[in-house]
C-alpha cells in the first residue's frame, strides 16, 4: 500500500469508528431511557455484549472478516504488517472483552436487589462518559496507528502487544483517576 492509501484508510477508520461509537452509545442511552432499566439489567446487557464480542472474536481465530469494509481493510493491512504480533494482539483483546463481560456480570450480581433505575442518570454525566470513551479510544488508536504505520521491516515489532497493553493499563488508570476526581468535584458542587 502506498502512503497516501494508508493515510486515507486511517482517516476513514477514525471517522467510521467514531460514528459507530457515538451511534452505539446513543442507542444504548436511548434503550436505557425507553426500557427504564435497572442498574443490574444494564450491567447484564453490557456483560452479554462484551462476552459475545470476545467469544466471536476468539472463534474467528486469524480471520480478518469484519462487518464494515473499512475495518476489514485495516485488519488485513495490519495482519500483513504485524505478522504474529497481530494475532497475539487480537487474541488478548478478545480475552480482555471476555474479562470485561465477567466484570459486568459481577456488577449485575451486586446490583441484583437494587430498584434504582438508570433513568435517573444525569445527562451531563452521560455526555461526560461519552467524551471520556471517545478520548480513550481515539488516543489509543492514535498510538496504535503511529506504532504500526511507523514500523519498518528492519525493526522488530516483537513485544508490541505487551508494551501496548501496559501502556493501555496506565492510560486507564489515569482516566479512572480523572473520572473519579471529576465526579467527586461534581458531587461536592451540588
pLDDT tens digit string along 59-73? 887 777 777 788 889
Quick: pLDDT tens for 137-148: 898 888 888 888
> What residues are paired with 38 via a beta bridge?
117
| Largest separation between any pair of C-alpha atoms in the chain | 59
9: confidence class by pLDDT, cuts 50, 70, 90: very high
Q: What distance in Å separates the CA atoms of residue 62 and residue 87, rounded to the nearest whole number?
A: 6
Rounded percentage of the chain residues whose pLDDT exceeds 70: 89
Question: Domain limits at 122?
Answer: 3-189
**Structural domains in the chain (count):** 1
List C-alpha distances in Å: 111 to 37, 40, 105, 119: 12, 5, 10, 15
For residue 151, pLDDT over 70 is answered with no
Q: What is the pLDDT of residue 20?
A: 92
Instruction: Round to whole Å and give the CA distance between 134 and 11.
Output: 16
User: Half-sphere exposure of 53 toward its Cβ, with a 13 Å CA cutoff?
Assistant: 19
The answer to whether 157 and 85 have CB atoms below 8 angstroms apart is yes
Q: What predicted TM-score, i.e. pTM, was given to this entire model?
A: 0.74
Specify whether the CB–CB gap between 162 and 88 falls below 8 A: no
Amino acid at each position: 500500500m502506498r502512503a497516501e492509501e494508508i493515510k486515507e484508510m486511517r482517516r476513514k477508520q477514525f471517522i467510521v469508528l467514531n460514528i459507530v461509537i457515538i451511534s452505539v452509545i446513543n442507542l444504548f442511552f436511548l434503550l436505557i431511557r425507553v426500557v427504564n432499566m435497572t442498574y443490574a439489567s444494564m450491567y447484564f446487557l453490557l456483560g452479554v455484549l462484551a462476552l459475545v464480542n470476545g467469544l466471536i472474536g476468539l472463534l474467528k481465530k486469524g480471520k480478518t472478516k469484519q462487518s464494515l469494509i473499512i475495518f476489514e481493510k485495516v485488519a488485513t493491512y495490519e495482519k500483513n504488517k504485524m505478522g504474529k504480533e497481530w494475532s497475539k494482539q487480537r487474541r488478548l483483546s478478545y480475552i480482555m472483552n471476555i474479562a470485561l463481560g465477567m466484570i459486568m456480570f459481577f456488577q449485575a450480581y451486586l446490583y441484583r436487589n437494587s430498584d434504582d433505575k438508570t433513568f435517573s442518570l444525569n445527562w451531563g454525566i452521560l455526555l461526560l462518559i461519552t467524551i471520556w470513551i471517545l478520548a480513550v479510544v481515539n488516543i489509543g488508536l492514535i498510538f496504535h496507528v503511529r506504532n504500526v504505520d511507523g514500523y519498518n521491516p528492519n525493526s522488530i515489532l516483537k513485544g508490541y502487544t505487551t508494551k501496548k497493553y501496559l501502556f493501555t493499563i496506565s492510560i486507564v488508570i489515569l482516566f479512572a483517576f480523572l473520572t473519579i476526581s471529576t465526579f467527586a468535584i461534581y458531587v461536592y458542587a451540588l
